[in-house]
Amino acid sequence: MGRISMSYSCIDVFNHCLPPPYVEACRAVQTRDLIMFDRAVDRPGMCDRDERIQIMAPFPGYRQILSLSSPSPEVITTPEKSPRLARIGNEAMAQWCSDCPRHFPGFVASLPLNRPEAALEEASYAIDQLGALGVQLYTSVNGLPLDRPEFLAIFELMAQLDQPVWLHPIRGANPGDYPGEEVSKYDLWWAFGWPHETSICAGRLVFSGLFDKWPDLKVITHHAGGAIPMMEGRLQHGFDAKAPRHSSDRNGETMPKLSMEPVKAFGKFYADTATFGSRLAMKAGLAFFGPSQCLFATDFPFAGIRETLVSAQGLPQEIFITNAERILRIPRT
């Protein structure tokens, strides 16, 4: 492969890895079949650090902020075992960063969210002792929404520590797309379901008053903010309609009082460029969130580095490195 001509470096803030010690630990404690996990393990560069660095080699200014691939620790095992599993994953990523700082200037901690008090402890440990740059949360915790008090406590901690939250979508193939169907067809649960999950989770967080409570909190959404950028008109005008849209709705539940318009609250999220090479989606995210709140990401190794770089060429230069250095406090090299 030839080199892509780049006049500046870039930091990939949302990509995934599965270091061998973590894979081994997952196999030892898993309580169910992990179809997505098995698929992820087989991706080139997912588990083999040297192979990963070889894949990165044609892109000389390119660096990665590491995060574990799905499924998350609370999906893999029980509340009794998930804290130790998260610790192994975080320590393994910290080791990759320590051994190869030129390629991996930092990592994002995973948490055992089926044991919330342990999740708070692990977040503090990973940031204070291992040097994690923030934490990765999934859009639901074994089916529970993130606007529950025990999970909002994690956002509160991250606001106190002034560290970002990475928000990753999660949704399985069950239930199906329509009543009476057990399984979603044609991988639509992933193709359309994950952007939908990001948007629903973001909405629940917005209307929980997340940014009223912690106005400086930074939450980085995956895949250019899911469906949020496409919904600007509905967010701007649809939520202004006070009439309930369902007979069981009450205005107080449908439209909580916020200190800002809903569309402005949604605009406080950050978004990445991990769109599987779709420049259209990148430009929509850029138009909605603005260049100061967009960050470069590939979703490697599920998507390619080259295709993302090619699609992102010409976007504002700050997206590639300056925003990440500022938000994550990464020293310029």
- In this structure, of 4-18, 148-162, 164-178, 231-245, the range with the lowest mean pLDDT score is 231-245
Beta strand extents in the chain (DSSP E only)? 10-12, 62-66, 106-107, 109-110, 135-138, 140-141, 144-145, 165-168, 219-221, 270-272, 294-295
pLDDT tens digits for range 228-265: 999 888 888 767 655 555 555 554 466 678 889 999 99
Look at residue 4 in the predicted model and tell me its pLDDT.
52
Please count the other Cβ atoms lying within 10 Å of the Cβ belonging to residue 258. 17
First to last CA, the chain: 25
Nearest CA among 8, 11, 67, 5 for reference residue 296:
11
Token look-up 């574990």 returns 68
Rg (CA), the chain: 19
DSSP conformation letters of 193-218: HHHHHHHHHHHHHHHTTHHHH-TT--
- In this structure, of 66-70, 194-198, 206-210, the range with the lowest mean pLDDT score is 194-198
Domain map (residue ranges) of the chain: 10-328
Distance CA 145, CA 138 (A): 10
The CATH number of the domain covering residues in 10-328: 3.20.20.140
Look at residue 26 in the predicted model and tell me its pLDDT.
95
Residue 142 corresponds to which tokens in the numbers above? Answer: 């074994």
Q: Is the pLDDT of residue 68 over 60?
A: yes
